[in-house]
């Protein structure tokens, strides 16, 4: 499973997950990607066959619903919360890295276009 981290997350998460053998990129690691709209970010993730990791539940669930309504499939959305994995508190980033590493080990298959959503 390949992941694209939304711009709210530091690129360090992607780096740490790559060190653990996962195919993960951060919106901050690709020029201009951290400033694109959610619609554009999601489209890029689909082009690259990546699931999106985001806290932006409302917007990405709306995109999921739009895809389903149009009969389109996507490569997945992994939803997190700043409450569970606080990005600005000690240990929050590390806990998210561990949770994503565990999740990726449990879901080693390539993204299949099944339009699945998961909560971490």
The token duo for 85 is: 């994995």
- The structural domains of the chain, with segments of one domain joined by +, span 3-119
The token duo for 89 is: 């508190």
Task: Please check the confidence at residue 108 and state whether its pLDDT lies above 80.
Answer: no
Q: Give SS3 for 78.
A: strand
pLDDT (0 to 100) of residue 95: 95
Kindly give the pairing relationship between strand 3-5 and strand 24-26. parallel
pLDDT (0 to 100) of residue 88: 85
Check residue 36 and report its DSSP letter. S
pLDDT tens for each residue of 2-38: 999 999 999 999 999 999 999 999 999 998 898 999 9
pLDDT tens for each residue of 24-76: 999 999 988 989 999 999 999 999 999 999 999 999 999 999 999 999 999 99
The token duo for 35 is: 């400033």
Residues 98-104: what's their mean pLDDT?
96
Q: Where residue 107 falls among pLDDT bands split at 50, 70, 90?
A: confident
């Amino acid at each position: 499973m390949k992941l694209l981290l939304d711009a709210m997350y530091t690129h360090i998460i992607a780096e740490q997950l790559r060190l653990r053998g996962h195919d993960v990129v951060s919106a901050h690691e690709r020029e201009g990607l951290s400033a694109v709209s959610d619609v554009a970010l999601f489209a890029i993730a689909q082009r690259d066959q990546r699931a999106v990791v985001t806290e932006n539940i409302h917007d990405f669930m709306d995109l999921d619903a739009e895809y389903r309504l149009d009969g389109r499939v996507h490569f997945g959305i992994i939803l997190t919360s700043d409450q569970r994995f606080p990005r600005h508190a000690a240990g929050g980033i590390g806990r998210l890295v561990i949770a994503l590493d565990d999740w990726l080990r449990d879901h080693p298959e390539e993204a299949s276009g099944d339009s699945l959503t998961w909560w971490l």
